[in-house]
């Protein structure tokens, strides 16, 4: 019933816009809401019942919900690198694009034609609020959190940023606005190290009794900040340190402010939410609200943040011509360093919607993500099985705003605006490469998925002291090549490699071509 009404409303909107000259009328505002480690099965509209996500479900009902949406990598830094550059991160030789520490240098070349740079050129005011995790500084001089912090978001296309440097579990846990740490007392300078303990503040390892929420594994047991031990050592900057319980409120408030400030011109906002990444901390209003413990509670907190953005767009009458994209940087994970009871409290909830594997891995559970696009003026509400990777947003936005891009600068990004607009039902993206830790690759082509053996590769946990034999990472060690047919085996349970040697060989060859030749074929 609701859907029928939406379709009628959409047809009416189309009728109203029928006299506009171009196929794609006025530049839409664009808001990407990207959650951190949100799984394919974590939203009501993707099947969750123990977690309530009414706002995200409303986005899906009013927009286009993809069942085959992909994060290009199953961890944050490479996935977000691809989103912003249109290039698979594993191609990078010059810059480190694996999971970055909080003092790592910027992994995108300043001045590159990134997604925000293209939109800036198209006349948009561009901003990012929330998680950055793409490095800061030039890599020659160590980044100085007490001075001017650059290059960073503002040198790769954003006009405004209000970010934290890396992850919430990594030091320094401070907000940076444009080039400066917010609320820093110069008399109490910030010092950070990921190598030696430069701090006289207690660590989780020495003083577990000071942890106020939960214990952590060894990698997450360095300096204790706000009762939680982190990765890395920190001293100083006390007045600038964020409180974990306030992060969601800040992301919502800064996103709302950004939209209000820029309501009279085209704007692009990337709202990079922190949940449900560890350490999970729910604001008071969300504690105990879901039926599957803390991880469910913080996903309901995400839903509130999304709702705040949606309410603002409605209040300012911007919703109709705003393209809102909702997705996640990689698939779900339960235990990721903190003993926060997420495994024990699951209560039957399926974070990956039953897909095989988790964050870090090339299986579908690591890379398939929720992906919703709502743009009432142009997108007919529907569900699509067309493949779409976050690496495609750059070329797609360039297409929607009439900007030219070159294969050289965005070699892996496809303009899928026709998919968004529903002018084709074809699979424009025939294949996509999926990427897990230690540069493990897989190729999805049509319904087939091929994962080459990498028995000899050095699999690392990509965290100081992380145990590569931990299941989360070891799952990427593939002893025998794997071939799955996702059409009849969506959970990648049955390896049909032996029965389909030609198919496997063709996929292996294609993966090799994509690796060697750069641009992906259409
Ligand atoms: C890993 C951390 C993990 C998380 C991840 C980054 C270890 C063993 N694990 O190194 O807790 O912070 O990095 O997650 O140290 S991501 O979503 O930003 O990629
Ligand atoms: Ca992530």
Closest residue to atom 15 of ligand 1, CA basis: 463
pLDDT score recorded for residue 15:
41
Taking CB atoms and a 6 Å cutoff, what residues make up the pocket around ligand 1? 36-37, 75-76, 99, 133, 167, 169, 219, 231, 277-278, 330, 336-337, 461-463, 466
Nearest-atom number in ligand 1 for the CA of 461 is 8
Please state the rounded mean pLDDT for residues 228-256. Answer: 98
Closest residue to atom 9 of ligand 1, CA basis: 463
CA distance 366 to 360: 6
pLDDT score recorded for residue 518:
64
Cα of 348 vs centre of ligand 1, distance in Å, is: 25
pLDDT score recorded for residue 25:
53
Per-residue pLDDT band for 96 (boundaries 50, 70, 90) equals very high
What is the CA angle 79-80-81, rounded to 5? 90
Nearest-atom number in ligand 1 for the CA of 77 is 19
pLDDT score recorded for residue 457:
75
pLDDT of 69 strictly over 60: yes
- Ranges of beta strands (E only) in 400-520 are 431-436, 440-445, 448-451, 482-485
pLDDT single digits (tens) 449-491:
999 998 877 877 777 777 888 888 888 889 999 999 999 999 9
Those residues whose C-beta lies under 8 Å from the C-beta of residue 339, and which sit 6 or more positions away, are 214, 215, 216
Domains of the chain: which residue ranges? 29-421, 431-516
- Both tokens of 288, joined, read 């105990």
Per-residue pLDDT band for 9 (boundaries 50, 70, 90) equals very low
Please state the rounded mean pLDDT for residues 163-190. Answer: 98
Residue recorded with tokens 């496809």: 414
Stated pTM of the model: 0.94
Domain 29-421: CATH superfamily, name plus number:
Alkaline Phosphatase, subunit A (3.40.720.10)
Enumerate residues with CB within 5 Å of ligand 2 (an ion).
Answer: 36-37, 76, 329-330
pLDDT score recorded for residue 10:
47
Bridge-based pairing state of the strands 29-35 and 180-181: unpaired
- SS3 for 393? helix
Cα of 421 vs centre of ligand 1, distance in Å, is: 36
Residue 463 per-residue DSSP state: S
pLDDT single digits (tens) 348-393:
999 999 999 999 999 999 999 999 999 999 999 999 999 999 999 9
pLDDT of 14 strictly over 80: no
Residue 454, phi then psi, degrees to nearest 5: -140, 35
431-516 CATH fold: Arylsulfatase, C-terminal domain (3.30.1120)
| Residue from 123, 122, 97, 110 nearest 157 by CA | 110
């Amino acid at each position: 019933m609701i859907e029928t009404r939406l379709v009628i409303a959409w047809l009416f909107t189309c009728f109203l816009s029928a006299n506009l000259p171009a196929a794609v009328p006025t530049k839409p505002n664009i808001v990407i809401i990207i959650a951190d480690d949100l799984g394919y099965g974590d939203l009501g509209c993707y099947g969750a019942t123990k977690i309530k996500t009414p706002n995200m479900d409303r986005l899906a009902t009013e927009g286009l919900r993809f069942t085959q949406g992909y994060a290009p990598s199953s961890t944050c830094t490479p996935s977000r690198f691809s989103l912003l550059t249109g290039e698979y991160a594993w191609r990078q030789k010059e810059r480190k694009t694996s999971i970055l520490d909080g003092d790592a240098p910027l992994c995108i070349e300043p001045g590159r034609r990134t997604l925000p740079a293209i939109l800036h050129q198209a006349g948009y005011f561009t901003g990012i609020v929330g998680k950055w995790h793409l490095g800061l500084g030039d890599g020659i001089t160590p980044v100085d959190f007490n001075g001017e912090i650059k290059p960073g978001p503002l040198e790769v296309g954003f006009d405004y940023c209000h970010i934290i440097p890396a992850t919430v579990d990594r030091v320094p846990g401070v907000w940076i606005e444009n080039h400066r740490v917010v609320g820093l007392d110069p008399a109490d300078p910030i010092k950070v190290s990921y190598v030696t303990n430069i701090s006289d503040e207690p660590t989780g390892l020495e003083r577990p009794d000071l942890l106020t929420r939960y214990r952590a594994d060894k990698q997450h047991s360095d300096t204790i900040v706000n009762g939680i031990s982190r990765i890395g050592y920190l001293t100083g900057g006390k007045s600038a340190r964020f409180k974990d319980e306030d992060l969601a409120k800040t992301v919502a408030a800064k996103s709302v402010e950004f939209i209000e400030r820029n309501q009279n011109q085209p704007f692009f906002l990337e709202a990079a939410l922190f949940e449900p990444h560890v350490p999970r901390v729910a604001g008071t209003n969300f504690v105990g609200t879901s039926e599957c413990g803390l991880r469910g509670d913080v996903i309901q907190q995400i839903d509130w943040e999304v709702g705040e953005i949606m309410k603002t767009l409605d209040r300012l009458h911007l919703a109709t011509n705003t393209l809102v994209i909702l997705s996640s940087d990689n698939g779900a994970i339960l235990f990721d360093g903190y003993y926060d009871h997420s495994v024990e409290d699951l209560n039957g909830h399926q974070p990956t919607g039953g897909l095989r594997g988790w964050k870090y891995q090339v299986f579908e559970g690591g890379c398939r993500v929720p992906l919703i696009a709502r743009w009432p003026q142009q997108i007919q509400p529907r569900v699509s099985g067309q493949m779409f990777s976050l690496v495609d947003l750059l070329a797609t936005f360039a297409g929607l705003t009439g900007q030219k891009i070159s294969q050289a600068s965005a070699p892996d990004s496809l303009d899928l605006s026709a998919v968004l607009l529903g002018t084709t039902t074809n699979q424009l993206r025939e294949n996509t490469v999926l990427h897990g830790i230690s540069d493990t690759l897989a190729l999805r082509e049509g319904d087939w998925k091929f994962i080459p053996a990498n028995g000899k590769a050095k699999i690392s946990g990509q965290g100081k002291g992380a145990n590569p034999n931990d299941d989360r990472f070891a799952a990427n060690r593939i002893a025998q090549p794997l071939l799955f047919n996702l059409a009849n085996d969506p959970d990648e349970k049955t390896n049909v490699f032996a029965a389909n040697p030609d198919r496997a060989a063709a996929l292996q060859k294609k993966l090799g071509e994509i690796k060697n030749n750069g641009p992906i074929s259409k």
